[in-house]
Amino acid sequence: MPGGCYGRRMKTYRFDALTSLEDLTLHDEPMPAPQRGEVVVRVHAVSLNYRDLSVVLGNYVHAAMTGLVPCSDAAGEIAAVGEGVTAWKPGDRVISIFHPRWFGGRPHRTLGHETYGSAQDGWLCEYKVCSQEAVVALPAGISYAAGCTLPCAATTAWNALSGAPPVRAGQTVLTLGTGGVSIFAVQLAKLLGATVIATTSSSRKGEILKGLGADYVVNYGEIADWGVHVKKELTGGMGVDCVVEVGGPGTVNQSLHAVRWGGEVVLIGFLTSENPGIDYFHLKGSGATVRAIGVGDRATLQDLVRAVEGGRLQPVIDKTFDFADARAAFAHLQAAKHVGKVVIAVGG
């Protein structure tokens, strides 16, 4: 960590080991000082993602280092700037970008090995130093709590809906469950004028989905072949134009049943670990494009922020925890009873 700034100290959380949530401990450390081209961000709010759990539980897609500060998603204000910084001044409101060196275009080779919380220190701390390009502006109309939910989940949902071609008004989008990406996908798809079909196993969550604009809700606990149901019963045999596929190996076959010929299944995450395999003829016969994404680049986040601001979209925050209760926030996410995002308030 960079040397101290003005002799001040700060509080920082680190996973001292990667065995359980009990390994998350609070540290007292020197406040970071910016080098040339860097800024120091006073962190106001951090949001959690499923990947933050997968890192500590040992099922993340890449090897993770111990002793790191967790979390990729944060909102705060510029506290100090280093030499040569022209993009920001103290007091500017910013949010983190998920991939700190992916600014646009094709992802670079080392993209998956540079992420916060698994390969380098993340944002669950009072102050964070980073490159001036590793943050984007947070508009005045968006709170810190709302802003910290955007870098990963919202950007992923926006990327999923922005394929080639992107989702257009009048098309149909299928979302799975009520996690952060799926909730944002419902909201953003409605913002684009699409019809939304959402799945859940909870009648309570189903009502929440309807309240957010879902046109149809399918209970996958009651309808095992929900993909077939979506195509035959809800789209008249046509299928959906886009599936925001967050479940992984346990749900992708149903997603292939649900998609239309020429539609798109966007592979995002892995909420299930069982792997029944994919039938090649099922994949080929679906006639769909299968696109795997890894959140998105800086430009995608900026596009998403403009959409949120222009559409006055309000992120769904399930619960906000105090900084002192960070471990409880992780446990709440692990319980998987949330709808939307789990936020940790770091500073005032």
- The whole-number pLDDT of residue 279 equals 87
CATH of domain 155-292: 3.40.50.720
CA dihedral of residues 20, 157, 225, 50 (deg, nearest 10): 0
Which conformational region is residue 26 in: left (phi greater than 0), alpha (psi within -120 to 50 degrees), or beta?
beta
Encode the chain (348 residues) as per-residue pLDDT tens digits.
Answer: 333 455 689 999 999 999 999 999 999 999 999 999 999 999 999 999 999 999 998 888 788 999 999 999 999 999 999 999 999 999 999 999 999 999 998 888 888 788 999 999 999 999 999 999 999 999 999 999 999 999 999 999 999 999 989 999 999 999 999 999 999 999 999 999 999 999 999 999 999 999 999 999 999 999 999 999 999 999 999 999 999 999 988 899 999 999 999 999 999 987 666 677 788 899 999 999 999 999 999 999 999 999 999 999 999 999 999 999 999 999 999 998 899 999 999 976
Instruction: Give pLDDT, residue 273.
Output: 65
State the pTM of this model: 0.94
What CATH number was assigned to the domain covering residues 4-149+315-345?
3.90.180.10
Long-range Cβ contacts of 87-92 (<8 Å, 24+ apart): 87/132, 87/133, 88/39, 88/132, 88/135, 92/137
Say how far apart CA 268 and CA 291 lie, in whole Å: 9
The token duo for 97 is: 């970008």
pLDDT at 164: 87
What are residue 186's phi and psi, to 5 degrees? -60, -50
- What is the predicted pLDDT for the residue at 8? 87
**Domain limits, the chain:** 4-149+315-345, 155-292
pLDDT at 316 (0 to 100) = 96
Q: Which residues are within 8 A (CB) of 176 and not within 5 positions of it... i.e. 6 or more apart?
A: 182, 198, 199, 243, 244, 245, 246, 247, 251, 255
Report helix, strand or coil for 54. Answer: helix
User: Could you give the CA distance from residue 21 to residue 129 in angstroms, rounded to a whole number?
Assistant: 25
d(CA 221, CA 229): 13
Inter-CA distances, 159 with 20, 155, 282, Å? 32, 6, 25
